[in-house]
Amino acid sequence: MDEINREYTETQNENGCDQEVEVPLSEEPLQDPVIQAVQERDEYRDRMQRAQAELVNFKRRTADEKVETVKREKTRVFSTLLPIIDDFELAMQQDAKLTADPTWAAGIELIYRKLESVLAIEGLSTLPASAGDTFDPLFHEGLTYQAHPEYDEGQIVAILRKGYLLDGKLLRATQVSVAHKSQSASESNPQDKE
């Protein structure tokens, strides 16, 4: 082994004449080719596994982004449709006697029901609320307060505009009028007590 690790001298100059040049050899002993091949295999396997993991993560991220984009666009489209739904409901509330043709009201209602069923298939549902329910700021938007003898403070007096859920998440809160206790004349004017 000492013969391999010793310095080897080579002699030859540019004219082809012998000249002595020292070439140092490595101090480390030569590695076994099998060990080197195993190390390279392990390194390539590690790189391959990392690349596969990166690809799986990329596919998952891409799928998640696609789902979020669809949800965002669906929310945008349904938000623009809500005023049209409101207009249909207002049209259906009109008295059929006021229209020249009574079939007009029936036609409007039929169109509304079809639209409502298509939207329900796509995940849009009405947020349940009615007069007498307790006001919930997570699902209701209080627009007015009313003194009302039939309802306790904090109860919904009237539904002003329907609320909607899209795929179980709030799309638009129900706009309501909320009851509050009325103050008597003596309570409302503290100067009268004196």
Model pLDDT, residue 52:
96
Q: Span 129-182: which CATH code?
A: 2.30.22.10
So where are the chain's domains? 81-125, 129-182
Instruction: Report pLDDT digits (tens) over 18-38.
Output: 556 565 555 555 668 889 999
Indicate the pLDDT class of residue 189, thresholds 50, 70 and 90: very low
Distances (CA, A) of 106 to 38, 68, 87, 126: 81, 39, 15, 22
